[in-house]
A and B are shown apart, each in its own frame.
Chain A
Amino acid sequence: MKCQIVFGLVILMTGLQGCATVAVDPHAGFPQVAQLVNDRGAPELTWTPGVEESPPRLDAISSRLAEGLTEEEAVRIALLNNRELQALYARLGIAHADLVQASLLHNPVIGVTSGFPIAGGIVDLGFGLAMDLIDFLYTPLRKRVATARFEEAKLRVAADVLDAVWRTQTAFYTHQANEQALEMRRQVAAATAASFNLAQRLREAGNLRELDVATEQALAEEAKADLRFAEIATRDSRERLNLLMGLSGEHALLWTVTPARLLDPREAATNADLEARAMKQSLDLAAADQLIVAAAENVRLDRASALFPEVVVGGKGERDGREWEPGPTFILPLPLFDRGQARIARAQAELRQARELRTALAVRIAAIARSTRARLEGYRERALQYRDVVLPVRQRVLEQTQLQYNAMQIGPLDLLRAKEQQIEAGIRYIDALREYWLAQADHTLLLAGRLPPTEAAPAAPTLEQLPRLPFSTLQ
């Protein structure tokens, strides 16, 4: 009779469990992530879990690769084709599985005992069914923790996608600048080679000292060494971009970059309320908020389960001799020593930590927003100074040097030196332009709600630094 009650209880709990259970879904969270990043200016995300071969869309892209790679195109390809990014989406599945796990009741335990009397006779049999009753009460709490973790995971994946976009952009700008600088280094090498050549001719004619020829040669050879360096840098940055776009084989050789976009002063309008916008949009802050929720729920869970982390109810039947003796069982830990105070204290400390980290993060975001805006404006002014003032002046210097040469007031070596200085100014302009676009990428990322993971600014506190929160004290 009591046995029936126990079974009835088990069936009831299974039914309740069925209502509370979260179904397993391999795509869980991805649409929200796609929406999150799309709202923040990143292109549409695609994810084809389980498909190993290259996405068919890459074929369409490859025809466009030859036309000159733009920054937007590079980002699209990276999002489509970077397998590390695709692997990142699997983290959603992991977090979701944790959520499913948290929603499941611990299975009831069934035990069978038997005894064989040495004197012979009927075998003694014992049968017991036990179930953690309080687990039923704790499950919703556990689920709330796991839900917060799952939300956090989605935010973190979205943040990682934005990082990938940023990495691709910065790699693109760096490579673009490297290619242009390389071309200019070639010109410097050509100019110094011409100077050296001319110096040799002057020497052959008996008109120049060996010292002057050697000086010209030194300049020419150093320019060649600089050219080698520029070649290495360009090859490196190209491979970094290939890596980010997930390109290999023929695809990796197919593309060339478009020249750097000229700076448009209008587009440089920095966001006046960048600080507020960056805070409002911040995925890191949202994730930190979710972590606080999870920590708070953990405190509640630990408080609730402090005295009685488990309450086991069940029934048993024993056959002693020929008689069955059914009866209920009840196991309750006696909170004599461990009354859960340590677990509660730990959970509370973790909550405090989460809150402090959130505040620290907000301070960091504000500071980085201000410095990013300052850098963007500064680099913009610098790039414009080069474009609108320095380069035209260098051009004028060259033109006037040519006229002075035409007037036979200065020599051809002086003229070539002016050309070389003009190219060097061009290289500095390319450098200034690259810095501007890198700052622009940081600015965009901040507006999208993510701290730029630059070396200069230490990375935002990763939430994974926090210890994994216990889902159940039973496990």
Chain B
Amino acid sequence: MKLQHKSRTLNRRRFLAGAAALGSTGVLLRQVEATEGNLSHQHHQATARPVLSTAPQSLLDRIDPKPTQPPGEPGKDYTPVITPNNVSLAWKVVNGIKVYHLIAEEVEHQFAPGLHARCWGFNGRVHGPTIEAVEGDRVRVYVTNKLPGATSVHWHGLLLPNGMDGVAGLTQAVIKPGATFRYEFTLRQHGTFMYHSHHDEMTQMALGAMGLFVIHPRKPKAERPDRDFAFMLAEWRLDVGTSRPNPNEMTDFNIFTFNAKAFPATAPMAVRLGERVRIRLANVAAMSHHPIHLHGYQFRVTETDGGQIPLSAQQRETSVLVAIGQSRTIEFVADEPGDWAMHCHMTHHVMNQMGDKFPNMIGVKAAEVDAQVRRLLPDYMTMGHDGMAEHGIHLDTGHMKVPENSIPMRGGPGPFDYITMGGLLTVLKVREELDDDRAPGWYQHPKGTVASTATVAELQRDGIKV
């Protein structure tokens, strides 16, 4: 698959560049592979680069801005992607070019009920809406800057002319507040990519200025998915009682999100039994790699941001590590009904606004101290001596007040009990019947298939003494 992809690209490039003199495809391919195998080797890189890289494409962009292929159509050429809690960016076709308009601006964003913040996003959303296109499409993206500071947009992982790469200062001037820039290039690959500010990244990415860029294959070799979900993973520092993410934070993040939502605000993935499911995961967190674990299934990792993985190399996994700046795509057939958790396996990434300044209270016997302290502080009670699980319940029942605009340790109600997870948790809902307009409710388990208290008779039967 990978080889096919590369040779195709090369063929096109050779054609586009009119570089017949460079030799046969086979020769080119060897050169490419030599280059890829010696990326650290400057000499090889320098000699190989003109052969296959930006020069021909840039030339094309200058000489012949007309698209070589008609714009891909949703439904016909691809199954549109679902970005839970977000949407795809609208576009129109002008002279065969797909035209998009991104507006970078400050956005009042809700991470979860009870927690909102002033963030920076695009088109009134955090993160920005998903840009969706098809391999071979020529896209023209206008970027209007309505932020208080200058910005730029980098197309993360995309193969494009250097001047369209969006690195402020290096490949373009900054987009000043009020200015609109035009980016235009032809999509030469497919897969899961991103766009994000590449100016004052520390600030602008910490505040959310980024989005997904999904490129569908023109002629997919693999089976088309029935459901194609896309998630962007991010992390934030939003201190309890504040309402703007702190871009100065370097290490201690306390909000972790799928598409900028923390559980219980993450929209579930609803799937019909037997459907082929694709889940795209892209990570632009500041400091955290996210090992995303899906319950109930083994999946195949089918794509990286470098392209499709050959079928023979697609490993079966239950967790996939999505490192910072990477994307991973997983696929499976949803053949087991139920409510299946999908979450990051770093335990504090499934906590909301957990405070690391709180002392370790486990095992502290403080009943007598409580009475002593209440004489001074009537609202006092010792917490955390048996863990943090109860805390969210205390908060949700409203008998313990916390600073406004905060959801510390809060999870959400589940069908059996309070779900003590937050952050990077979402649910895959696999059902036999599905009303596409509505997210299904909690899974109704067949009788006898739910773990519950063992009966005395059962214990006696199996000789278990408790």
Contacts and interface: CB of A to CB of B under 8 A. Distances in A.
B361 interface: yes
Contact of B377 (A206, A208, A419): A419
Contact of B362 (A187, A204, A205, A413): A205
Contacts of B376: 187, 190-191, 194, 416, 419
B146 to A, nearest CB: 34
B380 A400 contact: no
Interface of A: 187, 190-191, 193-194, 197-198, 201-202, 204-208, 398, 400, 402-416, 419
Contacts of A400: 241, 403
A429 B400 CA distance: 31
B369 A197 contact: yes
Given A407-B406, A408-B383, A402 B355 contact: no
B377 A410 contact: no
A190 B374 CA distance: 11
Closest 9 CB pairs of A and B: A409-B355, A205-B363, A407-B408, A411-B359, A407-B402, A207-B360, A403-B403, A205-B364, A408-B358
A408 B241 contact: no
Contact of A198 (B241, B369, B379, B388): B369
B202 interface: no
Given A201-B365, A208-B359, A407-B406, A412 B240 contact: no
A412 B373 contact: yes
A205 B362 CA distance: 7
B357 A415 contact: no
Interface of B: 239-241, 353-355, 357-366, 368-369, 372-373, 375-377, 379-380, 382-385, 388, 391, 400-403, 406, 408-409
B362 A402 contact: no
A407 B369 CA distance: 20
Given A204-B364, A403-B403, A407-B409, 14 more contacts: A187-B376, A193-B372, A194-B372, A197-B369, A201-B366, A201-B369, A202-B359, A202-B361, A205-B362, A205-B364, A207-B364, A402-B379, A407-B402, A408-B355
B311 to A, nearest CB: 48
Q: Most chain-A CB neighbours within 10 Å: which of B353, B377, B402? A: B377
Q: Most chain-B CB neighbours within 10 Å: which of A187, A190, A411, A412? A: A412
Contacts of A411: 357-359, 361
A409 B252 CA distance: 13
Given A404-B403, A409-B358, A205 B408 contact: no
B372 to A, nearest CB: 5
B403 A194 contact: no
A223 to B, nearest CB: 13
Nearest to A418: B377
Contacts of A409: 239-240, 353, 355, 357-358, 408
Contacts of B382: 198, 412
Nearest to B356: A409
Contacts of B373: 194, 198, 412, 416
Nearest to B403: A403
B443 to A, nearest CB: 31
Q: Most chain-B CB neighbours within 10 Å: which of A408, A413, A416? A: A408
Contacts of B362: 205, 207
Contacts of A406: 379, 383, 400-402
Contacts of B375: 190
Nearest to B366: A201
11 contacts: A194-B372, A198-B382, A201-B365, A398-B377, A406-B400, A408-B355, A408-B388, A408-B391, A410-B355, A416-B376, A419-B376
Contacts of A404: 240-241, 403
A313 B368 CA distance: 102
B372 A190 contact: yes
A403 B364 contact: no
Contacts of A204: 364-365
Contacts of B379: 402, 406
Contacts of A187: 376
Contacts of A191: 376
Contacts of A194: 369, 372-373, 376
Q: Most chain-B CB neighbours within 10 Å: which of A400, A405, A414? A: A405
Nearest to A202: B364
Contacts of B357: 409-411, 414
B391 to A, nearest CB: 6
Nearest to A412: B382
B152 to A, nearest CB: 36
A415 B403 contact: no
